[in-house]
């Protein structure tokens, strides 16, 4: 005789959702968005296809949740690095660490590169969702650069918006080149990361005292505030 089915606890449901997102992430990288089906994700997660739809109504919602989860983790780790080492709050060092991390992260890297081969039409959906946060990210960047300028580590000969333009141009250039199949430059990822740091430091920073833990904590708090603006997994369903 079979007993009554045990209720699914919140922790068990969260663990199942994580397993589902892990399976979807792995398939996204291996096969690309267009080829992956919900059936394959369900098999990879060891659950039934119907159970997938209990968590996410559509394939688009599922894979958007994969990308948003990765984005949240990237932001959280940037903030953690700043809290652990104040030098990580300097723009050049922060981006070096981010760039180096993304080179080793096959899930988040396509999001930052907008890789159409992996993301397919999901790239447009992701760009639209994250694009809504552009104004919020820009304001966060202004305040971050303002803190570093106040600490004497960035010159004030240019407006902050001009410095942010330089920051974006240099960073985007490096990410774009890494998205090209035969990009010129050193193959060693650490050397490329060092070049990115050098370029940003030369363009934006000035010699001065080390950033204080208090300044770095403020910069980290600005980054963490972005997490409040990102859609939650439930909002993607």
Least confident of 49-53, 86-90, 199-203, 214-218: 49-53
pTM of the model: 0.82
pLDDT digits (tens, 9 = 90+) for 161-183: 999 999 999 998 887 776 655 55
In the chain, the domains with their CATH numbers are 56-236 (1.10.357)
How far is Cα of residue 157 from the mean position of the Cα atoms in its chain?
31
Q: What is the DSSP string of 155-206?
A: -SSS-HHHHHHHHHHHHHHHHHHHTSTT--S-S-HHHHHHHHHHHHHHHH--
Distance from C-alpha of 145 to C-alpha of 155, rounded to nearest angstrom: 10
Residue 8, pLDDT > 60, answer no
Kindly report, residue by residue over 68-101, the tens digit of the pLDDT. 888 889 999 999 999 999 999 999 999 999 999 8
pLDDT at 111 over 90: no
More confident residue, 143 or 138: 143
Can you give the pLDDT at residue 161? 96
Per-residue pLDDT reduced to its tens digit, 18-65: 999 999 999 988 888 889 999 999 999 999 999 999 889 889 889 889
- What per-residue confidence (pLDDT) applies to 229? 78
- The reported pLDDT for the residue numbered 202 is 97
Of the chain, the percentage scoring pLDDT greater than 70 comes to 82
Asked if 223 and 137 touch (Cβ cutoff 8 Å), the reply is no
């Amino acid at each position: 005789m079979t007993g009554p089915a045990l209720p699914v606890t919140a922790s068990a449901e969260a663990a199942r959702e994580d397993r589902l997102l892990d399976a979807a992430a792995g398939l996204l990288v291996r096969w690309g968005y267009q080829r992956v089906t919900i059936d394959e994700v369900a098999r990879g997660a060891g659950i039934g296809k119907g159970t997938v739809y209990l968590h996410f109504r559509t394939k688009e919602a599922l894979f958007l949740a994969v990308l948003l989860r990765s984005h949240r983790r990237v932001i959280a780790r940037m903030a953690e690095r700043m809290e652990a080492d104040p030098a990580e709050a300097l723009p050049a060092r922060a981006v070096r660490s981010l760039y180096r991390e993304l080179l080793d992260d096959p899930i988040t890297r396509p999001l930052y590169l907008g890789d159409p081969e992996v993301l397919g039409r999901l790239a447009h959906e992701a760009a639209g969702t994250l694009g809504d946060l552009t104004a919020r990210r820009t304001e966060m960047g202004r305040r971050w650069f303002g803190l570093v300028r106040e600490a004497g580590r960035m010159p004030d000969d240019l407006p902050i918006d001009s410095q942010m333009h330089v920051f974006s141009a240099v960073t985007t250039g490096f990410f774009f080149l890494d998205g090209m199949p035969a990009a010129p430059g050193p193959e060693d990822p650490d050397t490329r990361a060092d070049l990115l740091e050098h370029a940003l430091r030369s363009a934006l920073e000035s010699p001065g005292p080390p950033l204080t833990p208090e300044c770095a904590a403020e910069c980290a708090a600005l980054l963490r505030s972005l997490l409040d603006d990102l859609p939650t997994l439930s909002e993607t369903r």
